[in-house]
A and B are shown apart, each in its own frame.
Chain A
Amino acid sequence: DTGVSQDPRHKITKRGQNVTFRCDPISEHNRLYWYRQTLGQGPEFLTYFQNEAQLEKSRLLSDRFSAERPKGSFSTLEIQHTEQGDSAMYLCASSTAQMNQPQHFGDGTRLSIL
C-alpha cells in the first residue's frame, strides 16, 4: 500500500499565474477529496469525487478553481489567475465508498504566491 501521493510538494509562483496539482489516491479507493489548509487552521473541504464524478463542491471553490478526475484514478486541481489569498496547503485524501470509511491523506502541496 503506497499511500496517497501528491505532486509537487511545494509550488512557488507569481500572482496571476496558473498552477496545477496532482493527486494519486490509494489504489482501489474510489473516493477522492480535496481540502485546503491555511496557517493555524484545520483543513477545509473543497470538493470530492466518486470515481470520475464530482459529487460535491464547497462554496470555497471559486470559479478560478477546477478539479478533474477523468479516469477515476488520479485527480488534478487547477487554480487560474492565482491570488495571494490562495497561499495554503492543498491536501488530497482518498477512501473507499463505504459509508464513513476513514479518509487517508497525502502530504499535501504547499502553494506560495509571491
Chain B
Amino acid sequence: GEDVEQSLFLSVREGDSSVINCTYTDSSSTYLYWYKQEPGAGLQLLTYIFSNMDMKQDQRLTVLLNKKDKHLSLRIADTQTGDSAIYFCAESLTGTASKLTFGTGTRLQVTL
C-alpha cells in the first residue's frame, strides 16, 4: 500500500542548512515531490525528482533519493526565516498518472 512518512518538526538557526527527511513504502513510485505550505495558503511546488535519479539540485535546494532504502531528503542551504513553513513530501505511482499521496508534513522553524 501507499504510505509516506515524515518527521513532524525541525528547528534550525538562520544561515544553517536544513535537512527534511521522508520515507515511502511503495516501490512503484515514479516521481517524488516536495511542496511548501505557508499558513493559510495552498501548496507551492518546490522541486521533484524522477525515481531513476539519485540527486537533483536547484539553487539552494538539493534533493537526494535512496531508492534502495525508499528514502528521500530535501536539503535547504543557508536557511532563511522566510523558509519557515510546512514541507510535504509526495509520491505518484506508476500507472496512476493522477493522484499524489502526501506525507503528514514537516514543520520547519527557523530561529534567529
Which residues of chain A have a CB within 8 Å of any CB of chain B? 4, 6, 31, 33, 35, 40-45, 48, 55-56, 58, 91, 93, 99-100, 102-108, 110
**Are A42 and B102 neighbours in the complex by a CB distance under 8 Å?**
yes
Q: Beyond the given A42-B103, A91-B43, A107-B40, could you list 7 further A-B residue pairs with CB under 8 A, ordered by the A residue number?
A: A31-B98, A33-B98, A42-B105, A44-B102, A56-B98, A100-B31, A103-B100
Consensus secondary structure, chain B interface = strand
- A55, A103, A104, A110 — most chain B CB neighbours (10 Å): A103
Size range of the chain B interface in the assembly? 20 to 34
**Are B45 and A106 neighbours in the complex by a CB distance under 8 Å?**
no
- Least CB separation from B51: chain A residue: A100
Asked, given contacts A42-B103, A45-B101, whether A100 binds B30 with beta carbons under 8 Å apart, the answer is: yes
**Are B45 and A104 neighbours in the complex by a CB distance under 8 Å?**
yes
Asked, given contacts A91-B42, A105-B43, A108-B42, whether A42 binds B104 with beta carbons under 8 Å apart, the answer is: yes
B61 CB → nearest A CB, Å: 14
Residues of B within 8 A of A55 (CB): 98
Which residues of chain B have a CB within 8 Å of any CB of chain A? 4, 30-31, 33, 35, 40-45, 48, 50, 88, 90, 92, 97-105
Residues of B within 8 A of A102 (CB): 31, 33, 45, 48
A87 CB → nearest B CB, Å: 15
Residues of B within 8 A of A103 (CB): 45, 100
- Least CB separation from B43: chain A residue: A105
**Are B99 and A56 neighbours in the complex by a CB distance under 8 Å?**
yes
A89 CB → nearest B CB, Å: 8
**Are B97 and A107 neighbours in the complex by a CB distance under 8 Å?**
no
